[in-house]
Amino acid sequence: MLVGYAVGGPSDTIARIMADRMKVALGQPVIIENVTGAAGSLAVGRGARSAPDGHTLVMGDWSTHVVNAAMYDLQYDVVRDFEPVSLLPSAPQIIVTPNAVPAKNLNELVAWIKADADKVSYSTSGHGSPSHVSGVLLQNVTGAKIQLVPYRGAALVMQDMVAGTIQLSMFPVTVALP
């Protein structure tokens, strides 16, 4: 099973839960391969080029099968080259900051962003990812131009968030709450 994001993020977590359950039904292990980069399109491209023998699955999401196709000239067609197998759970995005950020609610956060926009680093889990689109929306709503910093997955963003390197992001609840 190809996952287009880093180990520990929401797509990887869901894939590993599914693989564990599929192992029982299939009578053989399902191996997860994290192929990071280009908002998941590297993994999806590898899946598109794989032998059509039923042995390769691609973990797809909004970024890999909607946004990337709208933004990039891909070497595959997300509609014709894939067959959907299962609808997976969704996870709403929540705004996350380290404790060092002085805001304690949304109004204070917006005021802080507007006052210090040139110092605010907003991390995304990749170009075209939900966190990226959410960051652009945040800029549009606040009118503040903040520094958008793309990463290769939400788990990597969380590491730098905990370290205090990044001041702001939006994560799926499955990443932020643990």
Q: What is the pLDDT of residue 91?
A: 73
The two tokens of residue 164 are: 């205090």
Task: Please name the residues in contact with 148: beta carbons below 8 A apart, sequence gap of 6 or more.
Answer: 122, 123, 124, 132, 135, 136
CA–CA dist 64, 36 (Å, integer): 12
| pLDDT score for 116 | 86
Q: Which residues 6+ apart lie within 8 Å of 96 measured at CB?
A: 161, 168, 169, 170, 171, 176
Domains of the chain: 2-71 (3.40.190.150), 93-176 (3.40.190.10)
pTM of the model: 0.71
Q: What is the pLDDT along the chain (178 residues), one digit of tens a residue?
A: 999 988 988 889 889 999 999 999 999 999 999 999 888 999 999 999 999 999 999 999 888 998 889 888 999 999 999 999 998 877 788 999 999 999 999 999 999 999 988 889 999 987 777 888 899 999 999 999 899 999 887 778 888 988 989 999 998 787 777 7
Token readout for 151 is 């990463």
